[in-house]
Amino acid sequence: ETYWSRDGKKKWTWEHKEDGSSLWTQYWPNGRKKAESNWKNFTCEGTSTVWDRNGEVISRNEFANGRNTAQMSIAGTLIIESTQSITAASNSLLNGPGATITVNGGSFTVNGRFNLGTGSDGYIYMNGGTFTVTGMFTFPDGEGGVHRIYLNDGIMHAGSIEQKHDRDAIIYVGGGILRLDDIPGDDEDPQEWKDNGDLLPAEGYDDIVIEDCGDYTEVRAVKYAEAGNYWQGLAGIFFNGDDFTRPEDETHFLHSVDNDWGADEGNDWSARWAGFIEGPFNGEVTFTAEATD
């Protein structure tokens, strides 16, 4: 069986065997394997492998009866300083009254799936460094608890995040960056989170920017300039209509005046740029627009 993401870039396969087991494989957009594991009776069995985009093995874990002995269960407070690095196995968990992970410049890596809260609290504070989940980052399916991610600085990178609108789960983006490899459904689409109020700019920031970077999607927060201040670059909003109409059809919020408008997007479109630029001390500033194709 073969499955594709909505944009047609990501691929998953299930190979069913005679003994009742199945081999699950996920692929990078370049066609190389990203992850592979064996499943039987709804549990992971044997070897689970994760590769990077170049085909190099990131991790291999052995499972028995669906459990990995290197799993972490964090019910209190874990603080990772700039000189520290922690690696946990798939299905590790942050869950408990006030349970918190704070990354102050170090690195926290989960090789596989990471679960934030299962009926209780889970807080993550990124103040620098990296927080990497090679598989799916999940919010709880059941009710109970408060779940927050604060991206004050650093980078959080996940294979995908399964957000739950009705589970009191909110991501605040400040000076940090969120990167996602796969966006197969609405629960894992940052635009849906933003529309639902589950993805918000942190205090001091004005808006959320979601950008398709090819192999991954990047989420950042931006500040709008005030009088006397300048914002580096302009934000471009593109409309699938020649008079700034139908923005719901195709809208991009960019930090560049360049937009790769595909041939299948139609010929009638318009663009609006907003922001502030600082001109030369002595001279003229000229604005031009050109359609190259």
Tens of each residue's pLDDT in the chain, 293 residues: 898 887 777 889 999 988 888 999 999 888 899 888 888 887 777 777 888 888 877 666 666 666 655 677 888 888 999 888 888 888 888 888 888 999 999 899 998 889 887 777 889 999 999 999 988 898 876 676 788 999 999 999 998 888 766 667 889 999 999 999 875 544 567 888 888 888 999 998 888 988 888 788 889 998 775 544 444 556 666 666 777 665 544 445 444 455 555 666 566 777 777 665 665 566 676 666 665 55
Closest CA to 76 of 89, 94, 90, 103: 94
Domain finish residue from 41, 63, 85: 63
State the Cα–Cα distance between residues 206 and 267, nearest whole angstrom: 32
Same domain assignment for residues 198 and 89: yes
CA angle, corner 231, sides to 225 and 237, nearest 5?
90
Cβ atoms < 10 Å from Cβ of 56: 8
State the Cα–Cα distance between residues 127 and 94, nearest whole angstrom: 18
How far lies 252's CA from each of 73, 82, 207, 249, 273, in Å? Answer: 40, 36, 14, 10, 11
User: DSSP labels for 255-282?
Assistant: SSS-----GGG-S--EEEEEE-----SS
Residue 157 is assigned to a structural domain of this protein? yes
Task: Answer yes or no: are the C-beta atoms of 190 and 199 closer than 8 Å.
Answer: yes
Same domain assignment for residues 115 and 169: yes
Q: In the 8-state DSSP scheme, what is residue 216? A: S
Residue 235 belongs to domain spanning? 224-293
Residue 173 is assigned to a structural domain of this protein? yes
Same domain assignment for residues 200 and 77: yes
Cβ atoms < 10 Å from Cβ of 187: 16
Residue 217 is assigned to a structural domain of this protein? no
Q: How many domains does the chain have?
A: 3
State the Cα–Cα distance between residues 100 and 93, nearest whole angstrom: 11
C-alpha 16, offset from chain centre: 30
